Amino acid sequence: MTIDRVALARRAETELAGALVETEVAGIRALLDPMGGMILPSLDMLVVSDLHLEKGSAFARRGMMLPPYDTLATLTLLSRLIVRHDPKIVVSLGDTFHDRVGAALMPVAFREMIAAMARGREWVWIAGNHDPDGVFGLPGISADSLCHGGLTFRHEPSAGPQAGEIAGHLHPAAIVTRREKSVRRACFATDGARLLMPAFGVTTGGLDLNHRAMTGLFNRPSLIAHLLGRDRIYSVRYGNLKS
């Protein structure tokens, strides 16, 4: 039996296209992946945020125990995302590590995973409030923010309206009710001008879109929450979310 590789490739492309949701930020096309990353095709860029690597070890140093598998799980997910999209540029929007010493203390095996992912790509590590000194000893460059292709990439969103801003930090989440059952999910949040990224780390929490920290960031009538599902994204207007 022969294998029609062209047909298989087209089927894979169709399945991937069905999983992605297309939106725009300040007129620039963006593709949202249910794994929690955003692709900007015109920039050949993958954006992720709030990986919070080495969170388990950070808690352990403070005498609080978490399962020690968060870094491996998060990097494995990131590797899958990079294989899926093969971007030229990767931007991590801050809080890559859960504390200031996470990068220095991260085991060699995880450093090698990151090095393999970064090979042949440009990589930008934006500083966050958990890792304000930036990321050192890893491929790529560290920066406080990045302006590229008509967009501004930073960790914490600016106060008030800011067209073309891509930010993280707030770990947006939303609740929807379907068939009398409420479900809470991490989400991308955008009104077409600004976009907030979901936290990518597997042990991170979330902040509801109606939280006071979100006040003034969006034009609420235009705000859409793109909730992360198991293998697809569910897009819901802010007015239809459970308060």
Tokens of 242: 């459970």
Q: Domain limits of the chain?
A: 22-240
pLDDT level of residue 18 (50, 70, 90 thresholds): low
* DSSP character string of the chain: ----HHHHHHHHHHHHHHH-EEEEETTEEEEE-TTS-EEEGGGTEEEE----BTHHHHHHHTT----TTHHHHHHHHHHHHHHHH--SEEEE-S-SBSSTTHHHHS-HHHHHHHHHHHTTSEEEEE--SSSTT---SSSSEEESEEEETTEEEESSPPSS--TTEEE-SS-EEEEEEETTEEEEEEEEEE-SS-EEPPP-STT---EETTSGGGTTSS-GGG-EEEEE-SSSEEEEEGGGS--
pLDDT band at 183 (very low <50, low <70, confident <90, very high): confident
Q: Which pLDDT tens digit goes with each residue over 30-68?
A: 999 999 999 999 999 999 999 988 765 544 455 555 566
Is-above-0.95 flag for pTM? no
Q: Does domain 22-240 have CATH number 3.60.21?
A: yes
Q: Which residue type, as a one-letter code, is found at position 209?
A: L
Tens digit of each residue's pLDDT (9 = 90 or more) over 132-174: 677 878 899 999 999 999 999 999 999 988 899 999 999 999 9
Cβ count near 232 (within 10 Å): 13
pLDDT (0 to 100) of residue 114: 92
Identify the pLDDT of residue 118. 96
